[in-house]
């Protein structure tokens, strides 16, 4: 029997979209289905890790063996992620976290007036950036979802956030569907993977992650 590549490791990950309310019946979200994050959670469990997943609003079943915390907003995702961070060996940001949220949330349903409505948005906190910048940061893996110039944007995210590994994907390849086509970016180069079902892609990501952890004796540097 092969030893499991993440045996004894603790992995925290985020998955799915966030939902930022505008009023009691409306909000801003995106098309992330959660499938990539849930597949990665499953692949980490298969590799022997203890996995905690902070999940945005999706209807997927929890992979066997995964501890799941459900949240709605980016602020709740940040709070739940930071609360579960102590003792983790790896953090993986798969969630499509809102970059902006409405500055004011109306307590009552906004009534239609026939006039244009202006929403003022404010920046949310960058959960991955905040965790990767901590002196006690676990090994941090980011995703980069782009609609063009994947290599340039993914590499700049890896360097800007000081990440050991970035998984780059084009939104047209990965968002919502059953399959994905990703390129892995680490300090040694770019490694394109063939298009495949998300669980297969997830297992390849875990294999690369495990080899990085082994190479750097659990303390890889970006």
Residues that bind ligand PMT (CB under 6 A): 14, 32-37, 74, 93-97, 99, 124, 126-128, 142-145, 157, 169, 174-176
Query: Residue 23, annotated ligand binder?
Result: no
- The nearer residue to ligand PMT, 19 or 143, going by C-beta atoms, is 143
Query: Residue 143, annotated ligand binder?
Result: yes
Residue 116 to residue 128: CA distance in whole angstroms: 35
- The nearer residue to ligand PMT, 71 or 128, going by C-beta atoms, is 128
36 and 202 Cβ atoms separated by less than 8 Å: yes
Q: How far is the CB of 129 from ligand PMT (least distance, A)?
A: 7
Active site residue 30: yes
Q: How far is the CB of 194 from ligand PMT (least distance, A)?
A: 16
Residue 85 to residue 95: CA distance in whole angstroms: 16
Phi, psi of 178 (to 5 degrees): -90, -20
* Cβ contacts of 8 within 8 Å, gap of 6 or more: 48
- The nearer residue to ligand PMT, 48 or 100, going by C-beta atoms, is 100
Task: Give Cα separations from 29 to 33, 98, 117, 136 (angstroms).
Answer: 11, 7, 18, 31
In the structure encoding, which two tokens stand for residue 16, read together?
């799915």
Query: Using CB atoms, what's the residue nearest to ligand PMT?
Result: 93
Query: Residue 173, annotated ligand binder?
Result: no
Query: Residue 103, annotated ligand binder?
Result: no
Q: Which of 30, 162, 169, 180 is catalytic?
A: 30
127 and 206 Cβ atoms separated by less than 8 Å: no
Task: Give Cα separations from 15 to 59, 149, 168 (angstroms).
Answer: 12, 24, 15
Q: How far is the CB of 141 from ligand PMT (least distance, A)?
A: 8
204 and 198 Cβ atoms separated by less than 8 Å: no
- The nearer residue to ligand PMT, 6 or 93, going by C-beta atoms, is 93
184 and 193 Cβ atoms separated by less than 8 Å: yes
Q: How far is the CB of 63 from ligand PMT (least distance, A)?
A: 13
Active site residues: 30
Annotated binding site: 99, 109, 143, 157, 161
Annotated binding site for CTP: 99, 109, 143, 157, 161
């Amino acid at each position: 029997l092969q030893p499991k590549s993440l045996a004894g490791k603790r992995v925290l990950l985020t998955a799915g979209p966030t939902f930022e309310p505008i009023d009691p019946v409306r909000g801003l979200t995106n098309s992330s289905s959660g499938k990539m994050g849930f597949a990665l959670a499953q692949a980490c469990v298969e590799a022997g890790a203890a996995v905690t997943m902070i999940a945005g609003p999706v209807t997927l079943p929890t992979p066997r063996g995964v501890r799941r915390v459900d949240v709605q907003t980016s602020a709740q995702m940040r709070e739940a992620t930071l609360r579960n961070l102590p003792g983790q060996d790896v953090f993986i940001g798969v969630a499509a976290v809102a970059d902006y949220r409405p500055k004011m949330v109306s307590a009552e349903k906004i009534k239609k007036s026939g006039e244009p409505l202006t929403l003022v948005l404010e920046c949310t906190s960058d959960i991955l950036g905040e965790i990767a910048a901590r002196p006690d940061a676990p090994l941090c893996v980011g995703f980069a979802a782009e609609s063009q110039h994947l290599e340039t944007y993914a590499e700049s995210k890896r360097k800007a956030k000081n990440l050991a590994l970035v998984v780059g994907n084009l939104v047209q390849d990965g968002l919502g569907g059953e399959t994905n086509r990703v390129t892995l970016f680490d300090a040694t180069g770019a490694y394109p993977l063939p298009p495949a079902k998300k669980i297969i892609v997830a297992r390849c990501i875990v294999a690369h992650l495990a080899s990085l952890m082994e190479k750097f004796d659990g303390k890889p540097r970006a």
